[in-house]
Amino acid sequence: MKILPTINCLTHLVLAVSISLGVTFPSAAKQASEVFQQELPQHQQQRLFPQPQTVIWREQHFKFNQNTRFTYNSEEASTVAHYFSDFIQPATGYVPELIDISAQKNTNEVRDNNGDNSNVIEFSLIKSRDKTESYYLKVTDKKIFLRANSEVGLFYGVQTLRQLLPAEIETRMPINKSHWLINGVEINDSPRFNHRGMHLDVSRHFFNVGFVKRYIDWLAFHKMNVFQWHLTDDQGWRIEINSMPELTRTGAYRKQTVVGHTYDYQSLFDNKAHSGFYTQAQIKDVVAYAKARHVEVIPEIDVPGHTSALLAAYPQYSCHQQAVQVVERFGIFENVLCPTEATFAMLTKIYQEVAALFPSKYIHIGGDEVIKKQWLESYFVQQLMQEQNLNSPEEVQSYFIKRVSAIISQLNKTLIGWDEIMEGGIAKDAVIMSWRGTQGGISASKKDHDAIMSPYQFTYLDAYQSRSVDEPKAIHGFLPLKMVYDYEPVPADLPKDSAKHILGVQGALWTEYVKTARHAEYMLFPRLSALAEVMWSKPEQKNWQRYSGGIKALLTRYQYMGLNPSYSAFNATATANIIKQGAQSSNAALLSVSMQSEISSQHIFYRTYLPIFAEQFSEKASEQPLTQWQPYQKAITVNMPTTYQVVTQAPQGGQYFGNTQLTVAPHKALGKKISFVHEPRSGRERILDGVMAYDQYYNVEDFAVFYDEDLDATIDFVEETKISQVVMGVDTGKHRQLHPPKRVEIFGSNDAQQWQSLALLTEADAALNHPVLNMKFRPVNYRYLRVVAQNRKNSADPQIPELPLYIDEIVVY
């Protein structure tokens, strides 16, 4: 699957889907702005985001034209007025007159040559007890008032004013209009959280300064105030350190990059060198650019793990002191800094230069995913543990982080680390960024440490956005728009004294599988707007119906901004549930398939295919549809293996979106009792739920997962049941190739003691036939069915110390 090129209009999307699905459209494709813009009053089209504290719409309009004047009453207000003037000039061609009224007592006395004091946008800095980032915005038919007690408050007011203008204002091309209408409104607004951040990984794939500046612009537009710059990792060192030039000479370069997912059992590489780093002059330029947009830049320099690029440049700082390479794959690696005095002296030099470049009060040191094997093998570390009374490798990590914290404290900075830094004892004054879930933030806040909530399940925008098989490659997981929007950062049962330590929320864009700017845009938008509302708006102000009702207009604005947003929220999702049958245990249970879209106004269509393993149910080839396109109206009862192909259609008709597939298999084992010799690590319920996952993107939640253990499962049919076929789904085969089982054998029994072998797949058979293993045998009658699938185990790859075996279904006929 390749990422669609610039989607400035739906034509690109329609053509791509029509080619892949063979869809016939009743009408030609239209521009997205035409398709999505409904005939509504202007203020109903403009759902502001993030939602302000109070909004009162007025039935009047301000006409913004070439005669509109800007006034300001302070240096700070002047800065914002000039910023807005610069912003509107490309599209409007207007060059507003800017008037300093700081010496005037009555701002209403500003008049034009005809004595008229209207047609003015007033930028005023006023004294108040409001929060620093608060603002007041009022639009009448005569005048626009924008007031705040700080420059940043005025700046955020301007971001709202941008949204009140038609979406065309975002284009950098001139538009010939005599005037631009701004809807009457009165807004009082301020943010919920002080920390509203977004992260960018430039280590896995390097992004140039121009992209980084655009990224900062996007954060400012969404009223985010923190940019976390992930500058170092195993795959590349991206920041110039003058005292250690080899960091960028060697560490910023890797020979090639893995193609496909890093855990593929048959890894391929692109044979293309990847390199890049930021000079200190470029970093100063970016920091100044961000400051002008009220975005704080927090550097992340990862230690003690994720340091392969550092150790490739300076191997003497590892415990084994052997040469390593900048890593060409993604994941977690054993390379780790050794906790010697030489290492801490080296880190002192690095952090001194970093502190001088970044005025932020924070430095992020990573601290996550540290494999401690090299420490345990090190004589030096064993001696250190005795000297420092350290009883575990986790306490060694705590010792390391505390030493780094002391270095950072001496630089008048505060350490931020991922939640693993709590293991073994937390460093004094450290701020915890809770990424593995919410528990890290909860634990830190209860210990009176500040915390930033960044749980990957809700804030990592490198996950898949829909279940469409046309989604571009992502790391894994499922994070649709509504799931982002519904996230609540402060647990309801967290005591108030602890809740005050939740500083805010942090999103992340990791770039293992995001190589280009257009792909990054696709992953960010519109989910960034949902995350912005999580950060800015209070829970009682959030409303999914209001927010989703404005998505179409928001996507249009993104397009005028030249962005490549995702339309995944319009894709339909199909789900299946078991329908309980009667007492006849020998009958296959039925399934009920339902379809829905996050945006409820969409029209859903589907057609059906025969799955690749179910030829006996139909004479038609599985490549040909069993049914033609038909509208979805209510839940569908399914009595035979079926693949559903699902698309959605815009309300005006014509345009189809997405390509979601769901393969379901009603069979005799649905709802039956199943027992395991080794319980799966997760996903027990996926074994007999009737849903196949081989045609889905990779999501661990679609599978029962066994790590370094065999699948050895026994199904109890309650009474003797005639069986002749077992089908197993063993990996997705779509976006991530997993390890098939080494050997599979099927047994039958009536007493669960004496077992008769019914079918056997060798290693060669399993490797050849996955992702769906289809085993047929002569019809037999048994009460118990036993399935044994051998895990390949004994991994020689440190990337995968425990080999996973993924099973998504055991289908019995």
**Chain segment 513-557, per-residue pLDDT in tens:** 999 999 999 999 999 999 999 999 999 999 999 999 999 999 999
- What contacts 526, CB < 8 A, 6 or more positions away? 481, 551, 554, 555, 558, 565, 566, 569
Q: What is the DSSP letter of 81?
A: H
Task: Answer yes or no: 205 catalytic.
Answer: no
- HEC letters along 189-233: ECCCCCEEEEEEECCCCCCCHHHHHHHHHHHHHCCCCEEEEECEE
pLDDT band at 244 (very low <50, low <70, confident <90, very high): very high
Higher pLDDT, 366 or 706: 366
Catalytic hit among 133, 170, 201, 233: 233
Banded pLDDT at 36 (limits 50, 70, 90): very low
Among 109-123, 476-490, 601-615, 708-722, which is the least confidently predicted range? 109-123
Set 264, 369, 395, 763: catalytic member: 369
- Per the CATH hierarchy, to which homologous superfamily does domain 195-549 belong? Glycosidases (3.20.20.80)
Percent of the chain's residues with pLDDT above 70: 87
Rounded to an integer, what distance in angstroms lies between the CA atom of residue 313 and that of residue 310? 5
Residue 458 has a pLDDT of 98
Across 400-424, b (16+ Cβ under 10 Å) vs e yields bbbbbbebbeeeebbbbbbbbbbbb
**Predicted pLDDT at 469:** 84
The chain-wide mean pLDDT, for the chain, equals 89
pLDDT of the residue at 503: 98
From residue 39, alpha-carbon distances to 42, 180, 182, 232, 570 in Å are 9, 18, 17, 49, 20
Q: What are phi and psi of 743, to 5 degrees?
A: -160, 140
Token couple for 11: 């034509």
pTM of the model: 0.91
Kindly tell me if the per-residue pLDDT of 264 is higher than 80: no
Q: Is the pLDDT of residue 332 over 60?
A: yes
Report whether 713 contacts 749 (CB < 8 A). Answer: no
Q: 729, 694 in Cβ contact below 8 A?
A: yes
Q: Which regions of the chain carry the CATH code 2.60.120.260?
A: 673-812
Q: Which two tokens stand for residue 669?
A: 């084992």
236-237/232-233 β-pairing: antiparallel
The whole-angstrom separation of Cα 735 and Cα 474 is 8
Q: Please give the pLDDT value at position 707.
A: 87
The one-letter amino acid at 24: T
Mean pLDDT of the 10-39 span: 33
Residue ranges, comma separated, of all CATH 2.60.40 domains in the chain are 570-664
At residue 723, does pLDDT exceed 60? Answer: yes
- According to the model, what pLDDT value does residue 187 have? 98
Estimate the crossing angle of helix 527-536 against helix 517-524, to 10 degrees.
50
- Report in angstroms the alpha-carbon separations of 715 from 68, 725, 810: 77, 14, 10
- Name the band, by pLDDT with cuts 50, 70 and 90, for residue 803: confident
Q: Which residue has the higher pLDDT, 131 or 455?
A: 455
Indicate where the chain has its CATH 3.20.20.80 domain(s). Answer: 195-549
CATH of domain 570-664: 2.60.40
The pair phi, psi for residue 752, each rounded to 5°, is 60, 20
The mean pLDDT of 99-121, rounded to a whole number, is 72
Catalytic residue among 205, 274, 306, 667: 306
711-729 and 809-812 as β-strands: parallel, antiparallel, unpaired? antiparallel
Q: Which residue has the tokens 């009047």?
A: 60
Q: Is 710 a catalytic residue?
A: no
CA-based max dimension of the chain: 103
3-state secondary structure of 664: strand
The reported pLDDT for the residue numbered 28 is 25
- CATH number corresponding to 673-812: 2.60.120.260
How sure is the predictor about 105, in pLDDT bands with cuts at 50, 70 and 90? low
Q: How many CB atoms lie within 10 A of CB 591?
A: 25
Could you tell me the pLDDT band of residue 268, with boundaries at 50, 70 and 90?
A: confident
Instruction: Specify the 3-state DSSP secondary structure of 84.
Output: helix
The rounded Cα 324 to chain-centroid distance in angstroms is 31
Euclidean distance between CA atoms 303 and 305, whole angstroms? 5
> What is the structure's pLDDT at 97?
97
| Banded pLDDT at 110 (limits 50, 70, 90) | low
Read off φ and ψ for residue 109, nearest 5 degrees.
-85, 0
- What digits encode the pLDDT tens for the residues 593-634? 999 998 877 789 999 999 988 876 666 667 788 899 999 999
CATH superfamily membership of 54-189: Chitobiase/beta-hexosaminidase domain 2-like (3.30.379.10)
